[in-house]
Amino acid sequence: MADMIVLLRQVPDLVEELELNDDSTDVEREFMKFVLSEWDDYALEEALLVKEASQGSVTVVALDDPDVDQVLYTALAKGADKAVKLTGSEEGWIDSHQRARTIASWMRNQTYDLVLTGVQSVEDIDGQVGMLLAQELQHPHVSVVVSVETKNGSARVTQEFGGGRFSELDVQLPAVLGIQQSRQAPRYAPISRVRQAQQAGGLEEVPTEVSGGSGLTVRRLYAPESTDHAEMLEGSADEVADKIIELLRSRGLIK
Amino acid sequence: MASDVLVLVEHIDSELTDTSYELVGKAKDLAGGWNGEAVALALGSVDTSELAADRVLKMAHPSLDNYTPEAWLEALHAVVQERDPKLVLIANSTVGMDLGAGLSGRWGKPIAAYASAITGEDQDVVVTSQVFGGKLLAEAVIDGGQGVCTVIAGSFPGEAGKGGGATVEDLTPPAALGESRTSFVTTIEPEGGDVDITESPLLVSIGRGIESEDNIELAQEFADAIGAAVSASRPITDAGWLPKTRQVGKSGMKVKPKAYLTFGISGAPEHLEGMRDSDLIVACNIDENAPIFDIAHFGTTTDLFDLLPALTEKVK
Ligand SMILES: Cc1cc2nc3c(=O)[nH]c(=O)nc-3n(C[C@H](O)[C@H](O)[C@H](O)COP(=O)(O)OP(=O)(O)OC[C@H]3O[C@@H](n4cnc5c(N)ncnc54)[C@H](O)[C@@H]3O)c2cc1C
Domain final residue, candidates B122, B146, B179:
B179
Residue A228 binned pLDDT confidence (cut-offs 50, 70, 90): confident
pTM of the model: 0.92
Distance, CA of B1 to CA of A1 (rounded, Å):
47
One domain, residues B152 and B58: yes
**Would you say the CB of residue B266 lies under 6 angstroms from ligand 1?**
yes
- Domain endpoint, select from B179, B207, B229: B179
Please report the pLDDT score of residue B234 as a whole number. 96
- Give B192 or A189, the one with higher predicted confidence: A189
- B94 chain-A contacts, CB cut-off 8 A: 143-144, 159-162
Give CA–CA dist B288/B276, Å, rounded. Answer: 19
Q: Can you say whether residue A201 is alpha, beta or left, with left for phi > 0 and alpha for psi between -120 and 50 degrees?
A: left
**Domain harbouring A202, CATH code:** 3.40.50.620
Single-letter amino acid code for the residue at B67: Y
- Give yes or no for residue B195 having a pLDDT over 90: no
Cβ proximity of B132 and A12 under 8 Å: yes
Mean pLDDT of B160-187: 94
Report pLDDT for B316: 84
Cα of B235 vs centre of ligand 1, distance in Å, is 6
Distance CA B233, CA B248 (A): 6
B45, part of any domain: yes
Same domain, B23 and B136: yes
User: Is B269 contained in some domain?
Assistant: yes
Residue of chain A minimizing CA distance to B116? A224
Ligand 1 center to B269 CA (angstroms): 9
Q: Could you tell me where the DSSP H helices lie in A117-220?
A: 129-137, 191-200
pLDDT value for A125: 97
Q: Give bridge partners of residue B5 from the DSSP assignment.
A: B38, B87
Closest partner CB to B97 (pick from A144, A170, A229): A144
CA–CA distance, B15 with A237 (Å, rounded to integer)? 47
Does the structure show a pLDDT above 80 at B192? Answer: no
Is A73 within the bounds of a domain?
A: yes
Whether B282 is covered by a domain: the verdict is: yes
* Element (DSSP H or E) covering residue A221: strand A216-222
Helix and strand numbers (H, E) in chain B are: 8, 17
Same domain, B207 and B304: yes
One domain, residues B171 and B202:
no
Please give the mean pLDDT across all residues of chain B.
Answer: 95
Residue nearest atom 43 of ligand 1, based on CA coordinates = B285
Q: Contact at 8 Å (CB) between A177 and A139?
A: no
Residue B214 lies in a domain: yes
Range of the domain at A156: 3-207
Please state, rounded to an integer, the average pLDDT across all residues of chain A: 95
Q: Which H or E run contains B309?
A: helix B304-315
- Burial class from Cβ neighbours inside 10 Å (0-12, 13-18, 19+) for residue A77 reads buried
Structural domain span for residue B276: 197-315
- Summarize pLDDT for B206-222 with one digit per residue, the tens: 999 999 999 999 999 99
Q: Is residue A105 part of a domain?
A: yes
Residues whose CB falls within 8 Å of the CB of residue B206, separated by 6 or more in sequence, listed in order? B216, B219, B230, B231, B232, B233, B236, B262, B263, B264, B265
> How far, CA to CA in Å, does B127 sit from each of A222, B84, B119?
13, 20, 7
Residue B121's CATH number? 3.40.50.620
- Fill in the DSSP letter of residue B150: E
Residue B220 and residue B121 in one domain: no
Domain count, chain B: 2
Question: Does A226 have pLDDT greater than 70?
Answer: no
B140 and B42 share a domain?
A: yes
- How many CB atoms lie under 10 A from the CB of residue A121? 21
Domain for residue A212, yes or no? no
Instruction: Tell whether ligand 1 has an atom less than 6 A from the beta carbon of residue B299.
Output: no
Q: Which residue of B has its CA nearest to A213?
A: B110
Q: What is the pLDDT of residues B219-254, one digit of tens each?
A: 999 999 999 999 999 999 999 899 989 999 999 999
B5 pLDDT more than 70: yes
This model of the complex carries an ipTM of: 0.94
Residues of B in contact with A222 (CB under 8 A): 136-137, 139
* Least confident stretch, A11-25, A195-209, B116-130, B189-203: B189-203
| B143 and B232 in a common domain | no
* B95 located within any domain: yes
Q: Is the pLDDT of residue A227 over 70?
A: no
Residue range A122-178, pLDDT digits in tens = 999 999 999 999 999 999 999 999 999 998 899 999 999 988 899 999 999 999 999
- Whether residue B98 is found in the same domain as residue B219: no
pLDDT of residue A44: 98
Instruction: Report pLDDT for B194.
Output: 76
Cα–Cα distance measured from residue B119 to residue B69, given in angstroms and rounded to the nearest whole number: 28
Cα dihedral value B46, B51, B57, B59, nearest 10: -10
**Cα–Cα dist B132/A14, whole Å:** 7
Residues B22 and B164 in one domain: yes
On whether residue A82 sits in a domain, the answer given is: yes
Q: Do B101 and A253 touch (CB under 8 A)?
A: no
Structure confidence by residue, pLDDT tens digits, B274-288: 999 999 999 999 999
Nearest to B315 among A100, A161, A254 (CB): A254
Final residue of a domain: which of B112, B146, B179? B179
- A135, B106 contact by CB (below 8 A): yes
Number of domains in chain A: 1
Q: Is B262 in the pocket of ligand 1 (CB under 6 A)?
A: no
In sequence order, what are the residues at sequence separation of 6 or more whose Cβ sits closer than 8 angstroms to the Cβ of residue A172?
A: A140, A153, A154, B181, B182
Q: Is residue A31 part of a domain?
A: yes
Helices A191-200 and A68-78 pack at an angle, to 10 degrees, of 110
A217 within some domain? no
Distance (Å) from the alpha carbon of B167 to chain A's nearest alpha carbon: 30
> Does residue B46 lie within any of the structural domains?
yes
CA dist., res. A95 & res. A97, Å (int): 6
Contacts of B126 in chain A (CB under 8 A): 219
What tens digit of pLDDT does each residue of B55-99 get?
A: 999 999 999 999 999 999 999 999 999 999 999 999 999 999 999
Half-sphere exposure of B296 (CA within 13 A, CB side): 30
Query: Looking at the domain assignment, is residue A176 inside a domain?
Result: yes
One domain, residues B171 and B52: yes
The answer on B215 and B123 residing in a single domain is: no
**Residues B10, B96: one domain?**
yes
Alpha-carbon distance of B128 to B131, in angstroms, equals 9
- pLDDT of B189 above 90: no
- Residue numbers in B near A251 (CB within 8 A): 258-259, 280
B192 CA to centre of own chain:
23
**Position B184 in a domain:** no
Cα-to-centroid distance, B48 and ligand 1 (Å): 36
pLDDT beyond 70 at A118: yes
